[in-house]
Structure 1
Amino acid sequence: MRVVLVANFDSGLKYVGRLAEAVAALGAEPDIRVPTTGLPHKLGAGQVAAATSRPITYEPWDEIVRAAAGSDIVVPVFEGPAVERFIRQVHAEAGPRMPVVGTGYVGMVLYDVVGGYLSRSLADVVAVNSRSDLAEFTGAVRGLGLPEGNLLLTGLALLPAATAPLRTGPIRTLLFADQPTVPRRVADRTYLWDRLLGYARRHPDRQVLLRPRHRPGEETFHTMQHSPVAWAATRTLPSNLLIEHAPIDTLIPRSDLLLTVSSTAALEAVAAGTRVAFVADWVGDAALNPRLLPSGLLRRFDDIEADRIGTPDPGWLDDVFPAAEGASPAHRFVARLIEIAAGDAPRVHQAMWDSSFHAGRRATDAAIAGGATAPTSRYTPKRIAAGALRRALKLVER
């Protein structure tokens, strides 16, 4: 049984890398592919090495669609609209031999909750990261009269089934997981990094690691506009404050406290037993943290400096680690896909495809696009070129 796994950025590649391990463990053949056209991507060698050690095939979008159509199972891991476009094109290519389709989310679902699910809802299996996500997705399914059966509560596939015991003791190493666009404004980002600098000076016996989301020149789904590397060049950093680019999952186990505004790295830290604080100097939709309010971990920087750190709320832990017993989230996801492909469980793709909602959605997209049979992507060649030009001009300005 051949399983095609497709991603275009480092976070998605890390996700499909976890799935590939589960695919191999269950006796199927993982086939990881990265599109070179159709979606922007820029994966540096370090990003690939950190994501997976398995071989990767780079090829044009249309070639991946054809490969997927000839597979038993395909798992596209993109942003929602691109997942929908991919599934539609595989459906057109495969016809009655449509492979089983699965998809999921590479991190916490912090915005566009219902819209994101609907863009993925043509899949036979949507891996759901939390109980609260499941409740909202189920509400969308029932409210729109969609076929039920493709929602599988797994937990985030990057994580283990259960968390390690929370470590206690003195804080010797603090790790800050920076985000590319949270906060977005340069003044806010500068304030945040300056607070880290102040923390390092206030606690000279502690090591403070500032981990950028990616290195300069690399890209992620949300490309960093204001880099802490550029900020650091304008400051005199104390010896205990370091900019660190090592993979986040290698830094978390040796850290005593992880700080972030709203990065999914916090869940990886909780899973590893590392204490976590969400920086609450900004709270709102732009900070992507309203859905984190139940965690019990939001703290202003003044509290963090004074070591007033909380512990995860048990209800929140149960929400974001729903598979605390049994197989890992990745294993649960892949096992369901294989079960469907083997004919041992029903599939819902065709029922979803034929539903009045999706038939109408395709008709609307075709009308808006002037008769096209698939929705237009925001990643048109013109927009990709314009984005590259803007980034180049910003580099020149610096």
Structure 2
Amino acid sequence: MQVLLVANFDSGLKYAGRVAEAVARAGGEPDIRIPTTVSPHRLGADQVVAATGRPVRYEPWDDIVRAAAGSDVVVPVFEGPLVERFIREVHEAAGPRMPVVGAGYVGMVLYDVIGGYLSRSLADVLAVNSRADLAEFAAAARGLGLPDGNLLLAGLALLPAATLPMRDGPIRTVLLADQPTVPRRVADRAYLWDRLLAYARLHPDREVLLRPRHRPGEETFHRMEHSPVAWAATRTLPPNLVIEHAPIDTLIPRSDLLLTVSSTAALEAIAAGTRVAFVADWVGDAALNPRLLPSGLLRRFDDIDADRIGTADPAWLADVFPAAEGPAPAERFARRLLAVAAGEAPRMHQELWDSSFSAGRRATDAVLADRAVVARRFTPRRVAAGALRRALRAVQG
């Protein structure tokens, strides 16, 4: 059974790689492709190798849409609006031979919760990461008159089914999982890194690793505007503070404490038995951490300096690791996709496509697209250029 997975940024490719491995174990034939005509698409060779060991093909968007229309299963791993666009275009290209469509989230759902769900709601199988997400998506479906039989509580496909026991020995290695746009302002970002520098000086016996989201010049979904590499060039770093670009999944197992504001790397750390603190010097929508308040892990840097590290709330752990018993999240997702393709589980796409909400959404989008075209004709620059051309023709005539 042919399963096409499509991704356009590094964390999406990592997700696609994990699902592809699960598909292969379940008896399917995975095929991973990267579109070359949708930005960001310039994934470097190092990023590809770090994301997946499986072969990857680069193709134009339209070619991938045609390949998807001829596949048994397709899994677009994009940001929400691009997932919706892809599903719509595959639907139009495939006609009655529509492949089974899967969709999911490459990280914790921390913002645009309902908008993100709606962008993925046309999938036959929508892999849901947590029980809280499932409740919100199901409530949205009920409110909009959409069937919710496509919602699969699987857990995040990047994670194992269960966590390792939390290590409680001395803290010798500390890892900051930096984010490209959290916090966003340059002053706030410099403050975060300066606090880490001060922490390294306060604890000279500890190795402190600052891991940027990506190297300068690399492409990712959220592109880093203010790099810690540039910051480090203006500071004198203590010898125990190092900027480290190695893949984060190789750094987490050897770390005793992971710090981050709101990166999904925290869940990978918890799964590996590494202690976690969400830096709470900023709390709010811009920091993407209000949905992390139930974790019990938010700490200001003053607390982190003093080793006042919390432990995860058991209810929150059960929420974000819903697959503690049974197959791992990627396995659950892959098995459901293949079961739907084999006719052993119901297909949902056509019912969702035909729903009054989805049909109206497409009609509204078409009207707005037409109006956008008209509006571009009447921008001040175009109007002025048109007036100038008419004046020149009048003079010349």
Structure 2 length-normalised TM: 0.93
What residue number does 1:67 align with?
67
Q: Show the 5 A alignment for 1:152-163.
A: 152-163=152-163
What residue number does 1:194 align with?
194
SS in structure 2 at match of 1:110: coil
Equivalent position amino acid for 1:80 in 2:
G
1:46 deviation in Å?
Answer: 1.2
Equivalent position amino acid for 1:195 in 2:
R
What CA distance in whole angstroms lies between the structure 1 residues aligned with 2:114 and 2:279? 26
What residue number does 1:56 align with?
56
Can you list the C-alpha shifts for 1:47-86, whole angstroms capped at 9, x where unaligned? Answer: 1111001111100000000000000000001011100000
What CA distance in whole angstroms lies between the structure 1 residues aligned with 2:156 and 2:266? 12
What CA distance in whole angstroms lies between the structure 2 residues aligned with 1:246 and 1:163? 23
What CA distance in whole angstroms lies between the structure 1 residues aligned with 2:371 and 2:264? 39
1:251 maps to 2:260: no
SS in structure 2 at match of 1:308: coil
Equivalent position amino acid for 1:225 in 2:
E
1:344 maps to 2:312: no
Asked if the contact 2:323/2:329 (under 8 Å) is kept, the reply is yes
1:353 maps to 2:386: no
What residue number does 1:283 align with?
283
Can you list the C-alpha shifts for 1:3-44, whole angstroms capped at 9, x where unaligned? Answer: 000000000000000001001101110000000013432211
1:309 deviation in Å?
Answer: 0.1
- Provide structure 2 residue ranges, at least 5 long, that are not aligned to the other structure: 373-397
Equivalent position amino acid for 1:209 in 2:
L
Equivalent position amino acid for 1:83 in 2:
V
What CA distance in whole angstroms lies between the structure 1 residues aligned with 2:39 and 2:177? 26
SS in structure 1 at match of 2:312: coil
SS in structure 1 at match of 2:326: coil
1:135 deviation in Å?
Answer: 0.4
1:86 maps to 2:86: yes
Asked if the contact 2:36/2:42 (under 8 Å) is kept, the reply is no
What CA distance in whole angstroms lies between the structure 2 residues aligned with 1:317 and 1:25? 27
Equivalent position amino acid for 1:69 in 2:
A
What CA distance in whole angstroms lies between the structure 1 residues aligned with 2:236 and 2:19? 43
What residue number does 2:233 align with?
233
What CA distance in whole angstroms lies between the structure 2 residues aligned with 1:183 and 1:168? 29
1:371 deviation in Å?
Answer: 8.2
SS in structure 2 at match of 1:194: helix
Equivalent position amino acid for 1:170 in 2:
P
What CA distance in whole angstroms lies between the structure 2 residues aligned with 1:307 and 1:45? 39
- More divergent stretch after superposition (35-44 vs 85-94): 35-44
What residue number does 2:169 align with?
169
1:316 maps to 2:316: yes
SS in structure 1 at match of 2:322: coil
What residue number does 2:211 align with?
211
1:352 deviation in Å?
Answer: 0.4
What CA distance in whole angstroms lies between the structure 2 residues aligned with 1:20 and 1:108? 20
The share of aligned pairs that are identical, in percent, is 82
In our comparison, the structure showing a higher alpha carbon Rg is 2
What residue number does 2:377 align with?
none
What residue number does 2:268 align with?
268
Can you list the C-alpha shifts for 1:83-115, whole angstroms capped at 9, x where unaligned? Answer: 000000000010000000001000000000001
Equivalent position amino acid for 2:83 in 1:
V
What CA distance in whole angstroms lies between the structure 2 residues aligned with 1:192 and 1:340? 47
What CA distance in whole angstroms lies between the structure 1 residues aligned with 2:132 and 2:319? 7
What residue number does 1:18 align with?
18
- Provide structure 1 residue ranges, at least 5 long, that are not aligned to the other structure: 373-398
What residue number does 1:34 align with?
34
Asked if the contact 2:177/2:211 (under 8 Å) is kept, the reply is yes
What residue number does 2:307 align with?
307
Equivalent position amino acid for 2:206 in 1:
R
Segments of 4+ moved more than 2 angstroms = none
Question: What is the root-mean-square deviation in Å for CA atoms of aligned residues?
Answer: 0.9
What residue number does 2:183 align with?
183
What CA distance in whole angstroms lies between the structure 1 residues aligned with 2:371 and 2:338? 36
SS in structure 2 at match of 1:370: helix
Equivalent position amino acid for 1:47 in 2:
Q
What residue number does 2:375 align with?
none
